[in-house]
Amino acid sequence: MNRYQWGIAGTAVTALLGFAGYQGLHTEGLISGMTSSVQSPNHVLTMLGVGLWGAQFKRFTRWLIPLLFAGMMSVGLIAASFGYFIPYNNLLIAVSLIILALLIFGILRLKTVVGIALAASFATFQGFGHGAEIQPGVSPAAYSTGFTIASFLLQSSGILSSAAITRRFGISPLKLFAMLCGGAGVYQLFS
C-alpha cells in the first residue's frame, strides 16, 4: 500500500469506530475513548490538521509531533478526570484550531522546538476537554488509551495522506482543509 492508501485506510477505521459508538456498540473504557475521539468534529479537524502540519517537517520530527501530541492529550485527559480545571479550555481549543490553520497554510512559521511546544499545549487542551466528559464508572486509563490510539490514527492519516494529496491534487486541498480548521475555530470562538 502506498501512503495515500494508508491514510485513507486509517481514516476509514477511525470513522467506523465512531459509527460503532453512535450505534451504541461501544463498551466502557477503551472503545468508548476511541469513539469519543471521532465523534467531535473539532477533535477530528485538529488531529488531521496536526498530521498535515507535521508532514511539513523532516522525517523524525514528522512522527515526534503526533507521538508527543498523543502523550500530552493523555496527560490532559487524566488531569481532567481527577478534577483539575483549565479555565477557558474551549476558548483555548478554538484558538488552537485557528493557529493550526495558519501553520498548515504556511502563514505562521515557527522554529521546530516552538512548534513542538505549541503542539504539546494544544494537545493538553484537547485531552482536558475530552477528559472532563468521561462518564462516571468509566476507567480513565482505559478511556485515555482508546482515545490516544484513535487520535494517533487520525494524525497518522494526515501525515501519510499529505504528500499523496499534494502530489496528486496540488496544494489546494491542504489550503482548503486549513480554511476549514480556521473556520471551525472562529465558529467555536463565537458560539
Q: Three-state DSSP class for 49?
A: helix
Residue 19 pLDDT level (bands cut at 50, 70, 90): very low
The answer to which of 15-19, 44-48, 76-80, 151-155 has the lowest mean pLDDT is: 15-19
What distances in angstroms separate CA 103 from CA 9, 107, 128, 143, 174, one per listed residue? 25, 6, 22, 30, 11
Note the pLDDT tens digit of each residue in 69-121.
888 988 998 888 888 888 888 899 889 889 888 988 888 888 888 888 988 99
Domain of 180 in residue numbering reads as 3-190
Q: Chain-wide mean pLDDT for the chain?
A: 79
- When divided into structural domains, the chain yields a total of 1
Rounded mean pLDDT of 168-175? 74
5 contacts 156 by C-beta, under 8 angstroms: no
100 contacts 150 by C-beta, under 8 angstroms: no
CB contact burial 103-131 (16+ within 10 A = b; e otherwise): bbbeeeeeeeeebbebbbebbbbbbbbbb
**What pLDDT score was predicted for residue 3?**
60
